[in-house]
Structure 1
Amino acid sequence: MSETATTKADKKAKKNELRDTVVVIIEALLIALVFRTFLYQPFSIPTASMQSTLMIGDYFVANKWVWGLGKYSFPIPLPFNGRILAFNAPARGDIVVFHNEPTNEDYIKRIIGLPGDRIQMKQGRLYINGTEVEREQVGTGEDKDSYDTTVPVIIYKETLPGGVVHSIQEISDDQPLDNTAEYDVPAGHYFMMGDNRDHSADSRVLSQVGYVPAGNLIGKAEARFFSIKDNIPPWQIWQWPANIRWDRMLQSVYQTYTTTPAP
């Protein structure tokens, strides 16, 4: 084979190799896009509203197919209402990622009220359909928010109708959202509240969150896969040894309750 022919063959082989590499990269990106859009999506926690269930610096995955797909399930919101392929409905106590239209942000809260429910706070106590929700004090602790402000809190075990048991924390029973009017949850909507009851802008604030349409739900939080203190970026590997919360790694977010919040 002549030198010219060899050179042409080498160039063709390199071109084919580059093409194959590009094809593999495109296929991997498409698989990741499909996985993220239709199955599971990772999220991080930047605020204190769900502490101590989900701490600032926790990373978790949300199941996006469990309730079907809404318009915010896709990378670009699609112009339709309701949900498609919805064979199951959210339940009280589920921890949900949803798109909050008033602020144009994704929020994570716990479902407290289902369509048709009546929700009210009286002196720090939660009432659902006129019945006080069972609450038991199990400890005390400290809560640190995203501004590094630390306050003492009381830890409670709360048992929702239907049997879901989880922890909540409160500064006191006399905070701004501890006494409210009664909320009537409309059909096709859900009432969301944070587990950090006195540090959560949620459905109790109608102008900021209010009732959440079913079509705005993105997914059900399922498992933490990483957790680091002070919201340190996870790529800063040199910070891991002193700051990773090893006891919060690879856990379901549906622990029953804790007696003290994680640091």
Structure 2
Amino acid sequence: MKPTGKVLLDLIGISKSYLRGKVSVPVLDNISLHVREGEFVTLIGPSGSGKSTLFRLIGGVERPDSGHVIIDGTEVTGKRGLISYMPQQAALFPWLSVADNISSTLVTAGTAKKEAKEQALKWLHRIHLGGVANEYPHVLSGGMQQRVSFLRALLMRRDVMCLDEPFAALDALTRADMQRWLLELWETDRRSVLFVTHSIEEALMLSDRIYVLSSAPATILREIVVPFDRPRRADVWTEPAFVELKREVLNLLEKGDTTLV
């Protein structure tokens, strides 16, 4: 059964090319997709298929050659500051303490400085990082840095969150722990999320729906509704349906990756 509800992010016919020398190289070809209120949607595709480019277009950092970006029913193509964004590497200010990294985000979102400091400490305790509130980012582990980075994105109150392979640089055990942590925190907030990953298991573990992309110029090969109930069980990956869906996505990626031909 497909998720229902208000569409918060709608991409219509997005195409994008870049000039390499004098040659126009297409990256995205007529991409249309949507994310509903409280929905977790994942993009998965081969390396170089334009997933990060799509995030830059959604964030207004670049404009598409054609197509429209619509947020909450309003055309916002080329406009910045309308989404919260978490990049592949933790986006923290190295000269600020962990607590100040959080409070600065709250101040930017309109919270008074004193209240922002109080809220920052409460949130850090909530995600079990209260003990490092006064430390600087460089002393934290990769997983800790990503937790703080995600919290910054979460507290930048925007209707849509874009998460660009946030766990790609982590080891397997830390990554699994971060996936469980993200799901637990997301379940309490239910922000609309567009997530990019190269991991089929991660996509199936986290998502309500998955868009499978071809290699560049990227097109949508298939939209897959993930059938597993929420909250997700930690051992959902053992279910036969999970194994079958993983095989289906892998087959799609192999067929859609022209670099393998």
TM, length-normalised to structure 2: 0.25
TM, length-normalised to structure 1: 0.25
Larger radius of gyration: 1
